[in-house]
Every structure is written in structure tokens, then in C-alpha cells.
Amino acid sequence: MKPPPFEYHAPATTDEAARLLRELEDEEAKCLAGGQSLVPLMNLRLARPGHLVDLNRVDGLNGISATKDGWRIGALTRHAQIEDSAELAAGLKLLPQVASQIGYRAIRTRGTIGGALCHADPVAEWPMIARLLDVDVEVVGPDGSREIAASDFFFTVFTPAIEPDEILTSIQIRLPKGSWTTGFSEFARKSGDYAVVAAGVFLEVDRKHGVSAARVALSGVELTPHRSEAAESALIGTDPGDGAAHERAAAAAADAVEPSGDLHGSSDFRRQLVRAELKRALSDAASNLGVRR
């Protein structure tokens, strides 16, 4: 398979890339990062951009760095870099854990976190994790830079809230003070496939009073990553290792969604997966906190 004809551009700076995107806006220009989603779509003739703006030569878009309150991850950081990061493994284990589940190693060595977020696939891992961690997405365009909260970034399926002449440059992860833990679980038909349903958990824990704040995010149940307020409410004040509380929260999350069925599973099957995967994610979070169940 071969893509339709296109013109190739390789800017060296974000300003040059943004200018190109503005100039070419009427000609369906697309940014090329890892290409693991865009190139197959082009080969299948499902995407037909007239111009490709390759971001791989742009300085400053790659890398993982600690900040005073969390982490900054450049948009061109490969999934494999996140998977292999010893710093993240020590400071935010969730990210390497999730990265290891994306596709296959060959895909992870090329695919980028920024590309995954801009692709905005509702069953992909990184959009769901962005909602779970309440990240801020930094974008740059001809008019300057701005930050977009993850809650506002995913407009609908495959549609991020980013202007045609803007470029995603980094994500900012801010972590709370005090004790917290994370958990993750997903169900896929086979290793390397997209998850049918995935669940992520972020719990702030008061050693005396249990879960003081909870975030629960799901993929595969709506047109955008889903935050389950029902499950979050059910977890407040409970012991992070309480299996009965996990069951109640998982049931609340499943009851609150109406996923569409497709060839990978019916609506009822997806709701059952929500319940099962969220319980596993909560158990994972309890284990990461060192809670004996």
C-alpha cells in the first residue's frame, strides 16, 4: 500500500512549523511525529493530507524532566523512552507501566506521547491517562503558547481541541503533596492490541482517614476518555485496600456508562469489563501503596 501524493516539509523550529501550518491550512497539512497512526491511515487512503510537516527535526520537543511539582514530558518523547525511564519508574511508576502496554516494542520505539494525544483515539492509553492525571497540554502557534487542561483537550473522537496551526509541545504533570498511589489495568484481545476497556486510578491517601481524594478514568466507553465521578465518590473515605469498597466503586462506574457495542464487544460486555478492570486497577493501586488485602 502506498499513500496518496503529498509535499514534505522538515522545519527546524516550532515557530517555523507553526508558520507552515498556518500557510498550508487550506491544503490539509498534517504534523508527522511518530507516524504510527497517521502513516497507516494514509496508506489505506483514509487520510489524504496534501502536506506533511515533519516535527522530528524540531529542537526541544523530546525528553523527560522533573519539575518542582511533577514532570514535564516533551511531545516527541517515544513510548519506549517512557517505558525505559528509571526516573519515572521511581517517581511515577504508572507511566512506564502504561507505556509497556502500547502496541509492540517496534511501535513504542517510534510512536510519541504527543502524537497519541493529538490522535485522540478514545480507546488509546495516553488520552485516558492524561484525563486521569489532570495534565496540562502546552501548545504553540503563530500567536504564542497556551496551556489546555486535559479535561478540555479531547473534543470528540479523533478530534483534539487544538487549532490547525498549533503544535503540541509538551505535557505538564503536577502531583499533589502527601501520600498517593496509582493503579492501571486493561483488557485486550491479545497482547499488542488496543484495549477494549482500560481503567486508571489515582488515589490520595490519608493514613488515618483512608482515601481523601480519588480520580478514576476509563477508556473504551465513550467518544472521549471518561472520568467516573460515580466511582470517585464511592471511594472517598474508604480504606485503599478494602475489596468491598473496590466492588462498590466498580459497580458504580459500570452503572454510570452506556458504551456503544462494536465488533470487539457489546455494550453489556464493555460494562462488565469496566467493573472487572477497575477492580484490578484499584487492587494494583493498593499493592503500590503497600496495603495488605
Residues 175-184: tens digit of each pLDDT: 999 999 999 9
Number of domains within the chain: 3
**Quick one: what percent of the chain has pLDDT higher than 70?**
99
Cα–Cα distance, 96 to 89 (Å, whole number): 6
Q: Is 135 found in the same domain as 113?
A: yes
Question: Burial letters for 202-233: b for 16+ Cβ neighbours within 10 Å, e otherwise?
Answer: bbbbeeeebbbebbbbbbbbbebbbbbebbbe
Q: 163 and 72, same structural domain? A: yes
User: Based on the domain organization, do 152 and 219 belong to the same domain?
Assistant: no
Residue at which a domain ends, from 154, 174, 194: 174
CATH of the domain at 49: 3.30.43
Helices 267-289 and 243-255 pack at an angle, to 10 degrees, of 150
Residue 223 resides in a domain = yes
114 and 151 both lie in a single domain? yes
- The boundaries of the domain holding residue 256 are 179-289
User: One-letter amino acid identity for 292?
Assistant: R
CATH number assigned to the domain comprising residue 281 = 3.30.390.50
Residues 39 and 102 both lie in one domain: no
pLDDT tens per residue across span 43-67: 999 999 999 999 999 999 999 999 9
Cβ neighbours of 26 (radius 10 Å): 8
Looking at the structure, tell me whether residues 199 and 272 fall in a common domain: yes
- For residue 197, what is its C-alpha cell? 476497556
The pLDDT score that the predictor gives to residue 200 is 98
76-131 pLDDT, tens per residue? 999 999 999 999 999 999 999 999 999 999 999 999 999 999 999 999 999 999 99
- Three-state DSSP class for 112? strand
Instruction: Evaluate whether 125 touches 98 at the Cβ level (below 8 Å).
Output: yes
CA distance 268 to 259: 8
- Helical (H) or strand (E) element with 90: helix 86-91
- What SS3 state is found at 242? coil
The Cα–Cα gap between 212 and 204 comes to 6
The tally of CA atoms less than 13 A away on the side-chain side of residue 172 is 12
* Predicted TM-score of the model (pTM): 0.95
DSSP-derived 3-state class of residue 3: coil
Residues 227-266 have pLDDT tens digits of 999 999 999 999 999 999 999 999 999 999 999 999 888 9
Is residue 235 located within the same domain as residue 255? yes
Check pLDDT > 80 for residue 291: no
CA distance 232 to 216: 6
In angstroms, the CA 237 to CA 234 distance is 8
Which residue spans within the chain are E strands per DSSP? 7-9, 29-32, 51-54, 64-67, 70-74, 136-141, 144-149, 154-156, 159-160, 167-174, 179-188, 195-206, 210-219, 226-227
What contacts 24+ positions apart, CB below 8 Å, involve 266-269? 269/196
pLDDT of residue 292: 45
Rounded Cα gap, residues 202 and 200, in angstroms:
7
Strands 51-54 and 29-32, sheet pairing: parallel
Kindly state whether residue 19 falls inside one of the protein's structural domains. Answer: yes
Predicted confidence at residue 290, as pLDDT, reads 76
